[in-house]
Structure 1
Amino acid sequence: MSLSLSSSPQLSARFSPDATGELIVDGVREDFVEESTQRVREAVLGRVGEIAAAAGRPVRLTVSDEEGDWLLAVQPDGSIVDEEALSAGPEPEHVPALFRAAPPLEVLPDDAPPQNASREAPARESFLRVERTRPDRARQGMRGALARAGVPLGPSAAELRERAELDAVSRHWAGPRTIAIVNGKGGANKTPTTALLSAVFARNGGSGVLAWDNNETRGTLGWRTEKDDHDATVQSLLPATDVLMSAGARTADIGHYMHHQNADKYDVLRSNPTMLATEQRISSADFDRLHAVATKFYRLVIIDSGNDESAERWLRMIDHTDQLVIATTALGEHAEAGALLLEALMQRDAHSARLAREAVVIVSQSERTGPASEVRRVATGFEPLARRAVTIPFDPEMHGGRLSFESLAPRTRRAWLHAAAAVAEGL
């Protein structure tokens, strides 16, 4: 496109997540549509480079995207720098030594001895290499694209928050930790919460994460996750606990009873949803044996609690829990059941009261047509009762079928990372 440029052209660019962008040159808008956001950025910056070359001098470009606004300077040769760097004080490292200012000469007094008169051993530098700390650079979005092209742009506030949360969920603690996912009302999103928190911790922190279905009334964690080439359940593991706790047990022996999630990197201990609850009761002593095995072989145990808050296995789970998570949707009956549970735990004993005060509430939007404001309202209502309350947007991949972290929409994956980081704060 041919434009008649002013002596100081006003340039601004805006990028959208849907692989579209616009460039405004002295009030005239040019639209860009490409296959990806990266290609849009390249096309817009290429066009600005042409304008700078035509002007024969650097031009300033205001850039806006989901990360914010900032200024760039585009040189006539097409190179791009942070606009603030043009007025920076320190001399850039790429300036040849011939053009750098020479250090001032040292003037010695007339009666000073010759500099080479002393025969003392001169100080020397250590041969040990000292690693220089590299300046942090953006890795995501427009800022990341420019940083990879050599523009010294730091990460945005949003990227810094994401990095901090990734660090939090990647941590390995000194000793095993147990997380219980609870809500006495069925359908409150306990199973998806168990599976997807397990995926976040395992994908980022490595192996050693177990998702345990502690439900004796038709627990469906096994139905919604990958199955290995065996049918082992909690009932299969219980008779083997003594052997697995023995000194001769090998790490790989636990694989006979667990179902590994190949993409999401965690293991699943299934219940048997085809059996009646009366046929798979687990006593407090049985739970202790199972938990001892789980924490011997796994660093992080995340338990899908089931709905019967009076069951021995449910109450004993609370006794072993380090971090409590209330899973709920925005539906009133689910939220009320979660709130009543927190209030009941406050009265049970000192350990349960601490879990309730330090609980994390994860509110999921269960209906596509449900307003996001209702999800936020429920989360806000839990804030006086718990340590943190976070929200998860609606995602069809969470409703029915096998749960896979990679299949979720990007904003849903980001929300689960935020939720997992909130949980990690309590570990």
Structure 2
Amino acid sequence: MPVHTTPLYSAPGEHQQPPVDPAQALGGQPPAAEDPFQELNWLADNTPTAEEFAKRRLARPAQQSATMGARAMLQNATFGLLKMAPGQYEMEYKQDVEMVRRNFGGLRQVTVVNPKGGAGKTVAVLLLAMTFGQKRGGYVLAWDNNETQGTLGMRAQQDFHARTVRDMMRDLHLFQGAQGRVGDLSQYVRAQGEGMFDVLASDESATAGEMLTANSFAEIRDVVSRFYKLIFVDTGNNVRAENWQASMDATDQLVITMSARNDSAETAARMLDHLEQGGRRRLVRQAVTIVTMPPTRKDIDLQWIQQHFAARTRAVLVAPYERLIDSGEPIRYGELSPPTKDAWLKIAAAVASGL
């Protein structure tokens, strides 16, 4: 079932009465409020210190007012004379953005999986990288770890070059030891402009040659981890491939994608069985499940899918249908509909809470 955020404000028209203090109810005086600054360090003659000034400034709660929707319009219409608190939507939106922006304490890898083709892995990698890039800033990489041919580079924006992970593997000696700078890496990753992230594409040829190995994955990850704080890994459809298994070993947050169809969901469920039997039960239990809606709800059993994965993973979220995504064309963040952006921000916040 979808993740819900506890409302911080009552709905319009509702009024919550503040709790009555027992002392006041009996006619007594309310207890004296504690001074939040009484533990601050003062000099012997009670002269305030710089530490006291800094802590008092940080402890003072920010005055929040509406910046979105009808409340903000009403506030602006009165030139700020009427102060409006943010509505529930704005509060939840800001909470999600704060979650996405929080400090993870080091490099983190999010791996997106489902052995079935067309389950939305590549789209999820792109939209998560876009959302984190937009709300958090750079140092975000989307990496296509397909063992042979992948489609991440096809759905991403094109750059001045068409190099792939195989070109980078050939030139790994350029990054050995302390060698290699961000500018050097730009010859292999594709900048995504307004998306504020980069793409490391897999070879887009069906006759690329040998499959990637576990060592290949480890060597590439060692290089890109010097330049990125957050890596989203797109995976292939062979759960027994060496590079697929290597990506699992390096995963901090697992994301499972599927369309709202029983065949896509069953393939994902069997993959979870495989992961649990392989000793990755904790990774499964902490996973985030994304169910993507089709154009119509005909012949789908969304509730059953949600119930199954809610019992096995940490969160289940639904992504709305988006015609732009369904077109197969390169995805631009600015062209996505507001409901899609909101849904993927909620998904990104759920992913971030596990990092």
- Fold-level match, TM-score > 0.5? yes
State which of 187, 191, 201 in structure 2 corresponds to 1:270: 201
1:241 to 2:169 alignment: no
State which of 396, 401, 419 in structure 1 corresponds to 2:323: 396
CA contact (8 A) 1:376 1:391 kept: no
State which of 69, 74, 79 in structure 1 corresponds to 2:12: 69
CA contact (8 A) 2:75 2:84 kept: yes
1:284, distance to aligned residue in structure 2 (A): 1.1
State which of 268, 293, 297 in structure 1 corresponds to 2:223: 293
Distance 1:417 1:263, change over 3 A: same
CA contact (8 A) 2:114 2:258 kept: yes
| Mapping for residues 289-328 of structure 1, pairs under 5 Å | 289-328=219-258
Structure 2 match to 1:147: 75
Identity, % of aligned positions: 33
State which of 264, 275, 281 in structure 1 corresponds to 2:211: 281
1:217, distance to aligned residue in structure 2 (A): 4.0
Structure 1 match to 2:145: 214
Distance 1:70 1:223, change over 3 A: same
Distance 1:239 1:284, change over 3 A: same
CA contact (8 A) 2:111 2:235 kept: yes
Distance 2:251 2:282 in 1: 11
Distance 1:282 1:123 in 2: 68
Distance 1:388 1:123 in 2: 52
Distance 2:124 2:118 in 1: 11
1:191, distance to aligned residue in structure 2 (A): 0.6
Distance 1:389 1:253, change over 3 A: same
CA contact (8 A) 1:201 1:420 kept: yes
1:232 to 2:163 alignment: yes
| Alignment gaps of 5+ in structure 1 | 1-66, 72-81, 85-121
- Where 1:327 maps in the other structure, the secondary structure is strand
| Mapping for residues 16-27 of structure 1, pairs under 5 Å | none
Structure 1 match to 2:350: 422
1:161, distance to aligned residue in structure 2 (A): 1.3
Distance 2:282 2:49 in 1: 53
- Where 1:314 maps in the other structure, the secondary structure is helix
Distance 1:394 1:239 in 2: 40
Distance 1:345 1:325 in 2: 13
Distance 1:125 1:353 in 2: 54
CA RMSD of aligned residues (A): 2.4
Q: Which has the higher strand share?
A: 1
Structure 1 match to 2:310: 383
Distance 1:145 1:197 in 2: 31
State which of 83, 93, 104 in structure 2 corresponds to 1:173: 104
Which one has the largest radius of gyration? 1
Distance 1:426 1:125 in 2: 41
Distance 1:210 1:283 in 2: 20
Structure 2 match to 1:138: 66
1:273, distance to aligned residue in structure 2 (A): 2.1
Aligned length: 309
Distance 2:272 2:227 in 1: 30
Distance 1:332 1:190, change over 3 A: same
- Where 1:296 maps in the other structure, the secondary structure is coil
Distance 2:148 2:174 in 1: 28
1:329 to 2:256 alignment: no
1:124, distance to aligned residue in structure 2 (A): 7.5
1:340 to 2:270 alignment: yes
| Alignment gaps of 5+ in structure 2 | 1-9, 18-44
CA contact (8 A) 1:372 1:393 kept: no
Question: What letter matches 2:224 in structure 1?
Answer: A
Deviation string 1:290-338 (CA, Å, 9 cap, x unpaired) is 1111211110110110111111110111011111000101011111111
Structure 1 window deviating more from structure 2 (248-257 vs 385-394): it is: 248-257
1:353 to 2:284 alignment: no
Deviation string 1:104-156 (CA, Å, 9 cap, x unpaired) is xxxxxxxxxxxxxxxxxx98788969756442111111112223332222112
Structure 1 window deviating more from structure 2 (260-269 vs 155-164): it is: 155-164
- Where 1:263 maps in the other structure, the secondary structure is helix
CA contact (8 A) 2:106 2:229 kept: yes
Distance 2:301 2:319 in 1: 12
CA contact (8 A) 1:168 1:421 kept: yes
CA contact (8 A) 1:178 1:320 kept: yes
- Where 2:316 maps in the other structure, the secondary structure is strand
Distance 1:261 1:376, change over 3 A: farther
Question: What letter matches 1:370 in structure 2?
Answer: R
CA contact (8 A) 2:143 2:231 kept: yes
Deviation string 1:185-233 (CA, Å, 9 cap, x unpaired) is 0000011001000001111111111101111343111111112111210
CA contact (8 A) 2:191 2:198 kept: yes
1:239, distance to aligned residue in structure 2 (A): 2.3
1:246, distance to aligned residue in structure 2 (A): 2.5
Distance 1:124 1:316 in 2: 59
Bigger relative CO (Cα 8 Å, ≥ 6 apart): 2
Question: What letter matches 1:284 in structure 2?
Answer: A
Deviation string 1:233-256 (CA, Å, 9 cap, x unpaired) is 010011222322421322221101
